[in-house]
Amino acid sequence: MPGFIDAVITVISLALDIYWWILIASAIFSWLYAFNVINSSNQFVNAIGNFLYQATEPVLRPIRNRLPNMGGIDLSPLIVLLAIVFIKMILMNPIRPFLISLFI
Protein backbone atom coordinates (compact mmCIF):
# COMPACT_ATOMS: atom_id res chain seq x y z
CA MET A 1 0.00 0.00 0.00
CA PRO A 2 2.80 2.54 0.63
CA GLY A 3 3.82 2.21 -3.01
CA PHE A 4 0.32 3.16 -4.11
CA ILE A 5 0.26 6.25 -1.89
CA ASP A 6 3.69 7.27 -3.19
CA ALA A 7 2.39 6.90 -6.74
CA VAL A 8 -0.69 9.02 -6.00
CA ILE A 9 1.41 11.73 -4.37
CA THR A 10 3.81 11.68 -7.33
CA VAL A 11 0.93 12.02 -9.82
CA ILE A 12 -0.55 14.93 -7.85
CA SER A 13 2.86 16.60 -7.75
CA LEU A 14 3.27 16.13 -11.51
CA ALA A 15 -0.20 17.56 -12.17
CA LEU A 16 0.66 20.59 -10.04
CA ASP A 17 3.91 21.05 -11.97
CA ILE A 18 2.05 20.94 -15.29
CA TYR A 19 -0.53 23.46 -14.05
CA TRP A 20 2.33 25.67 -12.81
CA TRP A 21 3.69 25.90 -16.36
CA ILE A 22 0.23 26.42 -17.85
CA LEU A 23 -0.27 29.41 -15.52
CA ILE A 24 3.08 30.89 -16.47
CA ALA A 25 2.37 30.38 -20.18
CA SER A 26 -1.03 32.02 -19.75
CA ALA A 27 0.50 35.07 -18.03
CA ILE A 28 3.16 35.45 -20.72
CA PHE A 29 0.57 34.98 -23.47
CA SER A 30 -1.65 37.67 -21.94
CA TRP A 31 1.26 40.11 -21.84
CA LEU A 32 2.16 39.37 -25.47
CA TYR A 33 -1.48 39.78 -26.47
CA ALA A 34 -1.88 43.03 -24.52
CA PHE A 35 1.18 44.60 -26.15
CA ASN A 36 0.24 43.38 -29.67
CA VAL A 37 3.40 41.31 -29.97
CA ILE A 38 1.46 38.34 -31.31
CA ASN A 39 -1.03 38.40 -34.15
CA SER A 40 -4.47 38.03 -32.61
CA SER A 41 -6.09 37.23 -35.95
CA ASN A 42 -3.95 34.10 -36.41
CA GLN A 43 -6.08 30.99 -35.89
CA PHE A 44 -3.27 29.02 -34.20
CA VAL A 45 -2.55 31.87 -31.77
CA ASN A 46 -6.25 32.10 -30.96
CA ALA A 47 -6.41 28.34 -30.32
CA ILE A 48 -3.49 28.56 -27.88
CA GLY A 49 -4.99 31.58 -26.15
CA ASN A 50 -8.38 29.89 -25.89
CA PHE A 51 -6.82 26.76 -24.36
CA LEU A 52 -4.81 28.76 -21.84
CA TYR A 53 -7.85 30.85 -20.92
CA GLN A 54 -10.10 27.81 -20.45
CA ALA A 55 -7.44 25.98 -18.43
CA THR A 56 -6.72 28.83 -16.02
CA GLU A 57 -9.87 30.92 -15.76
CA PRO A 58 -11.90 28.53 -13.54
CA VAL A 59 -9.15 28.72 -10.92
CA LEU A 60 -8.28 32.39 -11.31
CA ARG A 61 -11.80 33.87 -11.47
CA PRO A 62 -12.81 33.15 -7.84
CA ILE A 63 -9.52 34.60 -6.63
CA ARG A 64 -9.96 37.72 -8.78
CA ASN A 65 -13.46 38.19 -7.35
CA ARG A 66 -12.09 38.22 -3.79
CA LEU A 67 -9.07 40.47 -4.42
CA PRO A 68 -9.45 44.24 -4.23
CA ASN A 69 -9.14 46.22 -7.44
CA MET A 70 -5.43 46.83 -8.05
CA GLY A 71 -5.81 48.92 -11.18
CA GLY A 72 -4.45 46.98 -14.12
CA ILE A 73 -2.46 44.51 -12.04
CA ASP A 74 -3.74 40.94 -11.74
CA LEU A 75 -2.22 39.15 -8.75
CA SER A 76 -4.40 36.04 -9.00
CA PRO A 77 -1.80 33.96 -10.93
CA LEU A 78 0.78 34.78 -8.27
CA ILE A 79 -1.57 33.62 -5.52
CA VAL A 80 -2.27 30.35 -7.35
CA LEU A 81 1.44 29.76 -7.94
CA LEU A 82 2.14 30.31 -4.24
CA ALA A 83 -0.69 27.91 -3.37
CA ILE A 84 0.84 25.28 -5.67
CA VAL A 85 4.21 25.66 -3.94
CA PHE A 86 2.51 25.38 -0.54
CA ILE A 87 0.59 22.22 -1.52
CA LYS A 88 3.71 20.61 -2.97
CA MET A 89 5.69 21.38 0.19
CA ILE A 90 3.00 19.75 2.31
CA LEU A 91 2.72 16.71 0.06
CA MET A 92 6.43 16.11 -0.32
CA ASN A 93 7.81 16.88 3.13
CA PRO A 94 6.09 17.05 6.48
CA ILE A 95 3.00 14.87 6.18
CA ARG A 96 4.09 12.33 3.60
CA PRO A 97 5.10 9.69 6.18
CA PHE A 98 1.91 10.43 8.11
CA LEU A 99 -0.27 9.96 5.02
CA ILE A 100 1.44 6.69 4.20
CA SER A 101 1.00 5.44 7.78
CA LEU A 102 -2.76 6.09 7.59
CA PHE A 103 -3.17 3.62 4.74
CA ILE A 104 -0.94 0.85 6.03
Q: What is the pLDDT of residue 104?
A: 64
- Rounded mean pLDDT, 16-39: 94
- Rounded mean pLDDT, 35-58: 94
Please state whether 36 falls in left (phi above 0), alpha (psi between -120 and 50) or beta.
left
- Kindly list the distances between the CA atom of residue 5 and the CA atoms of 8, 11, 64, 91, in Å, as whole numbers in the listed order: 5, 10, 34, 11
Q: Is residue 96 scored above 70 in pLDDT?
A: no
Indicate the DSSP class of residue 70. -
- Separation CA 55–CA 43 (nearest Å): 18
Q: Is residue 2 scored above 80 in pLDDT?
A: no
- Separation CA 36–CA 40 (nearest Å): 8
Q: What is the pLDDT of residue 70?
A: 84
